[in-house]
């Protein structure tokens, strides 16, 4: 997110800068204006964004602490307005129940009021409402405002598809960045890292391996089905639910009744290859999987691991190690 912006100290008698909410004076005599953030949207993702932004604005001196969140107003079964409930309980009881948003999040059902002082506009609304919202906002935002779009989807018209970020930029005449990525499941993150490590290891071991093979049925399709179903998944889930207290051998015998697991032995074989070549650090997911199977790490290590980055680029390694 952009830092606060600097403006020369105004001359005595000069008009105050437009919409200056609060300011700090820096050592070099400049006024450091604090940026104000408004989140346009208050569904599940908009509420998550508002919560995270609000926790950051509390820590960052260059931002105004208050984060406004525009709410498409609705009446709850209790008869209360959603906005009133959010402001009273500090929780979006409909779209993000059970999570406190932070006391500096202010829900506002008036779109124009919610954006009028904002330097940063964070859009998090289903894409089908974006054109109408942008039309409402024309001429109502600060001229130097900047936008970030968290909106998925494109607007499809006769002239062709248009990205939501372009819609925002064109309609409002402001810059718009995009923030996107897998956010829901650790499983998706782990599958992606797994695929990366599979590709890198295959390329290390076999020169003729092509990237395109990983998009075939034997690649990503098999990876997804194996991760979401099948015997390895079934037994690994039982292993994790037991906190690693019951061994894979024991669970295999009990659950598969004669069928065999390949995952555990494959993890060991891969580990041996990597260890032999001194490459364990480059393949942290493969290494972690084996260490969980042998009981050296708890099953939860797989989730903790997914935030780590390998020490070297796998791509670089696959070039250097041939
Ligand atoms: N960037 C990411 O990684 C990411 C992750 C999840 C969701 N998203 C995107 O964020 C956007 C919002 O999704 P969500 O899950 O927060 O929404 P949601 O499905 O949880 O909530 C729907 C929202 O739409 C509002 N709404 C209903 N009718 C409306 C109208 N006529 N005009 C304006 N608003 C109206 C509702 O009040 C509610 O706030 C979507 O585009 C979604 O794809 C992005």
The answer, yes or no, to whether any atom of ligand 1 lies below 6 A from the CB of 183, is: yes
pLDDT digits (tens, 9 = 90+) for 164-174: 999 999 999 99
d(CA 133, CA 6): 30
pLDDT band at 303 (very low <50, low <70, confident <90, very high): confident
Q: Could you give the 3-state DSSP secondary structure of residue 183?
A: coil
pLDDT band at 185 (very low <50, low <70, confident <90, very high): low
Confidence of residue 258 (pLDDT cuts 50, 70, 90): confident
Confidence (pLDDT) at 61: 93
Domain final residue pick, 156, 178, 200? 178
- What pLDDT, on the 0 to 100 scale, is given for residue 183? 66
Residue spans of beta strands (DSSP E) within the chain: 5-7, 23-25, 31-33, 35-40, 63-70, 105-108, 120-123, 146-149, 154-157, 160-163, 176-178
Q: Which of 134, 157, 178 is the last residue of a domain?
A: 178
Q: If you count DSSP H runs as helices and E runs as strands, how many of each does the chain have, helices first?
A: 13, 11
Give the domain extent around 61. Answer: 5-178
Could you tell me which residues are beta bridge partners of residue 147?
121, 176
Q: Each residue of 216-255: pLDDT tens digit? A: 999 999 999 999 988 999 999 999 999 999 999 999 999 9
What angle do the packed helices 186-205 and 263-277 form, to 10 degrees? 50
Residues 273 and 309 in one domain: yes
Q: How far, in Å, from the CA of 124 to the mean position of ligand 1? A: 6
The reply to whether 134 and 262 lie within a common domain is no
**In a shared domain, residues 236 and 145:** no
- Mutational test site, ligand 1, from 39, 40, 42, 45, max ligand atoms within 8 Å of CB: 45
Under the banding of pLDDT at 50, 70 and 90, the label for residue 159 is: confident
CATH of the domain at 202: 1.10.1040.10
Q: Where is the binding site for substrate, in residues?
A: 152, 231-232
Cα–Cα separations (whole angstroms), residue 31 to 16, 27, 62: 11, 9, 11
Distance of alpha carbon 136 from alpha carbon 116, whole angstroms: 12
pTM score of the predicted model: 0.72
**Pocket test residue of 126, 149, 165, 178 for ligand 1, highest count of atoms within 8 A of CB:** 126
Tokens 């993702």, residue? 45
Task: For the chain, give the percent of residues with pLDDT over 90.
Answer: 71
27 shares its domain with 131: yes
Indicate if 162 and 14 belong to the same structural domain.
yes
Which of residues 178, 200, 215 is at a domain's end? 178
**Nearest alpha carbon to residue 114 among 64, 63, 57, 70:** 70
Q: Is the CB of 126 under 6 A from ligand 1?
A: yes
Kindly state the average pLDDT of the residues 194-198: 93
Same domain membership, residue 117 and residue 253 = no
Residue 174 sits in the same domain as residue 191: no
Would you tell me the crossing angle of helices 248-256 and 231-241 to the nearest 10 degrees? Answer: 130
Do 71 and 82 contact (CB within 8 A), yes or no? yes
Answer whether 41 contacts ligand 1 (Cβ < 6 A).
yes
User: For residue 118, what is the domain's CATH number?
Assistant: 3.40.50.720
Residues 40 and 65 in one domain: yes
Confidence check: pLDDT of 318 > 50 = no
**Which residues fall in the annotated binding site for NAD(+)?**
41-46, 72, 129, 185, 231, 260, 262
Is 174 found in the same domain as 231? no
Task: State the chain's mean pLDDT as an integer.
Answer: 86
Q: Is the CB of 150 under 6 A from ligand 1?
A: yes
Cα–Cα distance measured from residue 244 to residue 208, given in angstroms and rounded to the nearest whole number: 38
The answer on 138 and 57 residing in a single domain is yes
Nearest CA to ligand 1 atom 33: 129
- Model confidence band, residue 293 (pLDDT cutoffs 50, 70, 90): very high
- CA pseudo-torsion sign 7, 11, 12, 17: negative
| Neighbour-count burial for 24-41, b at 16+ CB within 10 Å, e otherwise | eeeeeeeebbbbbbbbbb
Task: Let me know whether 279 and 161 are in one domain.
Answer: no
How far is the CA of 80 from the CAs of 87, 108, 167, 265, in angstroms? 12, 15, 34, 58
Total domains, the chain: 2
State the Cα–Cα distance between residues 181 and 77, nearest whole angstrom. Answer: 34
The CA 94 to ligand 1 mean position distance, Å, reads: 12
Q: Within this chain, do residues 26 and 144 fall inside the same structural domain, yes or no? A: yes
- Other C-beta atoms within 10 Å of 297: how many? 18
């Amino acid at each position: 997110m952009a830092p606060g912006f600097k403006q020369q100290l105004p001359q005595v008698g000069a008009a105050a800068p437009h919409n200056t909410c609060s300011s700090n004076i820096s050592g070099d005599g400049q006024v450091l204006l604090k940026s104000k953030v408004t989140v346009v949207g208050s569904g599940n993702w908009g509420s998550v964004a508002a919560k995270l932004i609000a926790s950051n604005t509390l820590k960052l001196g260059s931002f105004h602490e208050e984060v406004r969140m525009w709410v498409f107003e609705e009446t709850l079964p209790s008869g209360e307005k959603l906005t009133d409930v959010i402001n009273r309980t500090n929780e979006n009881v409909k779209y993000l129940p059970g999570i406190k948003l932070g006391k500096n999040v202010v829900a506002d059902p008036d779109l124009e009021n919610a954006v009028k002082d904002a330097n940063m506009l964070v859009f998090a609304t289903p894409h089908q409402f974006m054109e109408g919202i942008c039309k409402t906002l024309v001429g109502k935002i600060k001229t130097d405002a900047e936008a970030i779009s968290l909106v998925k989807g494109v607007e499809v018209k006769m002239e062709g598809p248009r990205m939501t970020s372009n819609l925002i930029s064109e309609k409002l005449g402001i810059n718009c960045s995009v923030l996107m990525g897998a956010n829901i499941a650790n499983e998706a993150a782990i599958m992606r890292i797994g695929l990366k490590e599979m590709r890198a290891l295959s390329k290390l071991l076999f020169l003729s391996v092509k990237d395109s093979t990983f998009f075939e049925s034997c690649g990503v399709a098999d990876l997804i089905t194996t991760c979401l179903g099948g015997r390895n998944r079934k037994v690994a889930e039982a292993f994790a639910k037991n906190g690693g207290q019951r061994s894979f051998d024991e669970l295999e015998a009990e659950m598969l009744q004669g069928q065999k697991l390949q995952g555990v032995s494959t993890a060991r074989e891969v580990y041996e290859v990597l260890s032999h070549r001194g490459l364990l650090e480059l393949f942290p997911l493969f290494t972690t999987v084996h260490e969980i199977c042998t009981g050296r790490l708890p099953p939860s290590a797989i989730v903790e691991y997914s935030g780590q980055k390998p020490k070297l680029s796998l791509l670089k390694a696959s070039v250097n190690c041939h």
